[in-house]
Amino acid sequence: MKTAFLDFEQPIAELEAKIEELRFAQEASAVDISVEIQRLQKKIQAVTKEIYAKLTPWQVAQVARHAQRPYTLDYIDFIFTDFEELHGDRSFGEDPSIVGGLARFNGQSVMVIGHQKGRDTKEKILRNFGMPRPEGYRKAMRLMRLAEKFGIPVVTFVDTPGAYPGIGAEERGQSEAIGRNLYVMAELQVPIVCTVIGEGGSGGALAIAVGDVVMMLQYATYSVISPEGCASILWKSSERAPEAAEILGITATRLKSLALVDKIVSEPLGGAHRDPAGAAQNLKKALQDALRQLSDKGATKLVEERFERLMSYGKYRELELK
Amino acid sequence: MSWLQKLLPPKIQRVGAGPKKNVPEGLWSKCPACAAVLYATDLEKNANVCPKCGHHNRISARERLELLLDDEGRFELGVEVAPLDALKFKDSKRYSERLADAEKATGETDALVVMQGAVKTVPAMAAVFEFDFMGGSMGSVVGERFVRAVDACLEQNLPLICITSTGGARMQEGLLSLMQMAKTTAALTRLSSQRLPFISVLADPTMGGVSASFAMLGDVVIAEPKALIGFAGPRVIEQTVRQTLPEGFQRAEFLLEKGAIDMIVDRRQLRDKLASLLTLLLRLPVATG
């Protein structure tokens, strides 16, 4: 598949195009230009490195939403075996914008749950652009309880613009569904490892992101409101989203410095979409470490530490009262 | 509120300080729903509910506490927790300036007021949102005060009542405010394991990050008449689905019909209703007070 380039990646795109041209020319001529191609490829590496070393938060958001970025099912393919997808919330319906099921991770049973976006138009609509309705969250909750019942750790992948703001979603209790998940994840008696792999859009993301270890891929974002939404509230114009992205603090590095994220999983040069297998390998390693770290803890200690961690969230002043 | 007022024993504290938005300074006030011209003191005596049409005007957190709790034995908690501009958030104005303005306008230091007391002699903890403080938005201070309210409930075996009036999470605190959803909700697990009731009262409006966390998880969920309650705001939904929303969408009556809440209670009957529910849940005799 041809790589789609973002605006700020134009210098890379131009070099890639040049290589293409040369390759085309080579077929027609006898001159060996492989040296020249090699030189250009090195240059691409250098330029990519340079561009990606100083991405603005808004540019990171573009990478996080890249149309070719690996989604939950891609990572499931790379990282797990024997994936048995389970469907439905048992009371209203099946929501394909969240996928989940049993799988093996290095042979061990796990419950995998994640937001799922679509690749082409048809799948995008089927997956509702990764925006779950209440039944999606209730399916996730059902699967977590199932995992708890059999002592199976839960692994979640977060990648959503947000919970779906629709009429039916409100009628069926979007708020309650999200709130209930937060509650269940706070008390679940098995390890939970959460990774933001793309977009962490507000409450719709948090609803499957409360855990013992919370990680982010290097170019993922996690935010209380989308930069566009924030900009349209603050300046009545979504055009100023880049500024909003700056002040909201949505990048992995910023959130790690605020101790809201435990670990940043590095991505291949130029982002996960350039090398999905490489990204998956890094993620697998990180999951392995996280699960190993949690495996010895008893349920009581696990839940106790998770609780303490949740209670530590927040920055405020403590006044001295006379 | 000044430090001096805070130090005064609650009994002689002037509760209900701060501006009363819906009651203009004049003697007369016009109901925004039925346009009836009302004598301001009548309206105030009537819990700011229009005596003609029953329209519930928004009221301050302290006015709510005044209506809810017995006069005796009130004690405010969480005043020691004050806001901080952790992200150095600035749009047209700095967050720190917005905080200062909100404090000036409301007399509160953040959007949640927690008070221990009794409802018709039944000891209880009350946490009430102040909508006029930055739209009643939940940031770190609201989250921490809520948790301290829960902690005090656990220590003293008290039920918790929370009255929400909020637009949701506080944007100016970024992801820290989103995490308050997880924090406050997690605290409820402790109340449950100690079998302490949590009654959630949804006032107009209860939206976003607060409705999508602890607010819908009450052992009993009550709403005020016509209160707007939901996850996404009506405008956002309209833009997404590109159709006009049905009449009464996201109003308390709509939620009752959809099975999302237990009951709608008129503000003037809330105190009696809460006393009845709490005594029933706690298996206590009928409250007298």
Pick A247's closest partner by Cβ from B83, B90, B240. B90
Quick check: B15 pLDDT over 70?
Answer: no
Q: What mean pLDDT comes out for the span A270-289?
A: 97
**pLDDT attached to residue A1:** 64
Determine, for residues A224 and B140 on separate chains, whether the beta-carbon distance falls below 8 Å.
no
| Tally of residues, chain B | 289
pLDDT band at A236; cut points 50, 70, 90: confident
Residues 91-110 of A with CB under 8 A from B: none
B188: nearest CA partner in chain A: A183
B212 touches chain A (CB under 8 A): yes
Q: Does residue B113 contact residue B76 with C-beta atoms inside 8 Å?
A: yes
A183 touches chain B (CB under 8 A): yes
Per residue in B187-224, pLDDT (tens digit) is 999 999 999 999 999 999 999 999 999 999 999 999 99
Determine the Cα–Cα distance for residues A176 and B168; give it in Å rounded to an integer. 14
Question: What is the DSSP pairing of strand B28-30 with strand B37-39?
Answer: antiparallel
pLDDT band at B287; cut points 50, 70, 90: confident
Q: What is the DSSP letter of A251?
A: B
**pLDDT attached to residue B27:** 83
A22 touches chain B (CB under 8 A): no
- In sequence order, which residues have a C-beta less than 8 Å from that of residue B163 and are 6 or more positions away? B61, B64, B68, B126, B127, B128, B129, B201, B203
Quick check: B253 pLDDT over 60?
Answer: yes
**Alpha-carbon torsion (B241, B246, B248, B249), positive or negative:** negative
Give the closest-approach CA distance of A320 to chain B in angstroms: 7
Quick check: B5 pLDDT over 80?
Answer: no
**pLDDT attached to residue B154:** 98
**pLDDT attached to residue B40:** 87
Chain A residues with beta carbon closer than 8 angstroms to that of B214: 179
pLDDT band at A24; cut points 50, 70, 90: confident
**pLDDT attached to residue B3:** 66
Question: What is the DSSP pairing of strand A98-105 with strand A108-115?
Answer: antiparallel
Average pLDDT, rounded, for chain B: 92
Beta-bridge partners for A78: none
Per residue in B115-170, pLDDT (tens digit) is 999 999 999 999 999 999 999 999 999 999 999 999 999 999 999 999 999 999 99
Determine, for residues B147 and A311 on separate chains, whether the beta-carbon distance falls below 8 Å.
yes
Determine the Cα–Cα distance for residues B228 and B204; give it in Å rounded to an integer. 5
Give the closest-approach CA distance of A50 to chain B in angstroms: 27
Determine, for residues A321 and B230 on separate chains, whether the beta-carbon distance falls below 8 Å.
no
SS3 content of chain B, % helix, strand, coil (to 5): 40, 20, 40
Quick check: B71 pLDDT over 60?
Answer: yes
Q: Does residue B153 contact residue B131 with C-beta atoms inside 8 Å?
A: no
Lowest mean per-residue pLDDT among A19-28, A36-45, A199-208, B139-148: A19-28
pLDDT band at B1; cut points 50, 70, 90: low
pLDDT band at A284; cut points 50, 70, 90: very high
Q: Does residue B185 contact residue A182 with C-beta atoms inside 8 Å?
A: yes
Quick check: A111 pLDDT over 70?
Answer: yes
Quick check: A307 pLDDT over 80?
Answer: yes
B205 touches chain A (CB under 8 A): no
**pLDDT attached to residue B2:** 64
Pick A235's closest partner by Cβ from B91, B169, B176. B91
**Alpha-carbon torsion (A129, A133, A135, A139), positive or negative:** positive
A320: nearest CA partner in chain B: B80
